[in-house]
Amino acid sequence: MMGGTDLIRLSASAIAGAVSRGELKAEAVAQAHLDRIAAVDGKVNAFLKVLSGPALEAARAVDLKRSAGKPLGALAGVPVALKDNICAAGAQVSCASRILDGYIAPYDATVVERLKGADAVVLGKTNLDEFAMGSSTENSAFFPTKNPWDLGRVPGGSSGGSAAAVAARMAPLALGSDTGGSIRQPAALCGIVGLKPTYGAVSRYGLVAFASSLDQIGPFTRTAEDAALAMSVIGGHDPRDSTSLPAPAAAFAAPTGDLKGLRLGLPKEYLEGGLEPSMRAAFDAALSALKARGAITREVAMPHTKYALSVYYLIAPSEASSNLARFDGVRYGPRKGGASGNLLELYEESRGAGFGPEVKRRIMLGTYALSSGYYDAYYLKAQKARTLIKGDFDAAFEDVDVLVTPTTPAPAFRFGEKTGDPLSMYLSDVFTLPCNLAGVGGVSVPAGVSPEGLPLGVQFMGRAGEDAGLLRLARALEDAKLFSGEPAL
């Protein structure tokens, strides 16, 4: 019989297989992970809400289902953590914002429906930068999440809670959302696998919107195999999401590491400067390992990459300005002011008290970009430049199969290091956000460790709809064993 320490070391695939075969009880697996949360989350602060009772009840239901001889789902007994901007019926969905304080989701997001339908067990809701706006999880209204590898450093963001939960073995699988790198960047900083699927490959129904043309839900796992398993469950068309791709879920079999003849593109614009030396060394080592397995590398040009950061920080805040208009103190969150009957005063005071500084900054940026007299100069021009950026990806994929870049310019930074300089913080996502602008898939894979003992990640980006191929590459890099170790918690 496995003890709790053994159970938290199992992959999602191993748990699902053992529970389905009757070798493990789902309740024992859930309890082991809840015990782990109780033991270490006081240091890490990955969770905003732990759903102990519902998790154990769900796990017992899985065990009863198997006892009754009924077939179990693909994620039988697998504990899952959810970023707290994804709705789960009966649980809070705060987006780490005061303006949603006390709000309980009345329904399940499509991804949660599919997780539950596959017999997964939801452990709780994880911390994030408020409304997913940030790169460090320092913008949470409640507390910052800490990187399990070094508690003095950030886990990345905005999905830092989900990444930290998986890295610290509090869950083998977590879901996050990625608008400009919010899955891949924290995955890199926490030493795990993080996949941003092709836009539309996973339903956004039940995800609280930040920037609707960029947002995408995806998994955090410790292996490429587990990411494929998660995608086989959460992917596929959803008629409730108008942006959902009409195709059925792609086949996400366990990936293999065969790369013979695979053409890897190296965008020169990503590698011209700004890389911390250990990150460059890890990137070069990853390329050597992939070439040793049969891949071919060639340089590609993506000339409009230099505009991506500016384009993103016009389009994303503009969409946020529109999406967050509904949070007004009337329908959601604490209501402030308005005693005199002045509706404008109620809006101003409720939103002023409810939103944090970064959310306010982005709402103001977006409102300005959309305002009369400035729309054509800013928002419209940004959309035209976005088309050029997407064209760079289309042209590159005529010559290569996958693009390979560092995920981040450097390993995890210290708390407070970038909070006084928003531009410096925004540059943390400089390698990840073009992928969202183009709507293609991207995955971050651990590729090494810095001299300070911090994880380093490499990013693969592929053609729209070819996310399974990215996990094939991720598996090959795992097989090269360039990354080892785990947080000392």
Q: Which domains does the chain have, with CATH numbers?
A: 1-489 (3.90.1300.10)
Q: Indicate which residues carry an active-site annotation.
A: 83, 158, 182
User: What average pLDDT does the segment 28-43 reach?
Assistant: 98
- What is the side-by-side order of every strand in the sheet holding 193-196? 47-50, 121-126, 79-83, 173-177, 217-221, 193-196, 441-449, 455-462, 402-406, 263-267, 296-300
User: What average pLDDT does the segment 153-168 reach?
Assistant: 98
User: What average pLDDT does the segment 46-59 reach?
Assistant: 98
Structure tokens at 349: 């005071």
Task: Say if residue 237's pLDDT is above 70.
Answer: yes
User: Can you give the pLDDT at residue 250?
Assistant: 67
Q: By 3-state DSSP, what share of the chain in percent is helix, strand and coil, each rounded to 5?
A: 45, 15, 45
User: What average pLDDT does the segment 241-265 reach?
Assistant: 84
Look at residues 240, 303, 223 and name the one whose alpha carbon lies nearest to residue 476. 223
Task: Say if residue 341's pLDDT is above 90.
Answer: no
Q: What angle do CA 199, 201, 206 make, to 5 degrees?
A: 90
Place of tokens 């070094």: 150
User: Can you give the pLDDT at residue 335?
Assistant: 85
User: What average pLDDT does the segment 270-297 reach?
Assistant: 94
pLDDT band for 1, please (50, 70, 90 cuts): low
Whether the CB-CB separation of 80 and 175 falls below 8 Å is answered with yes
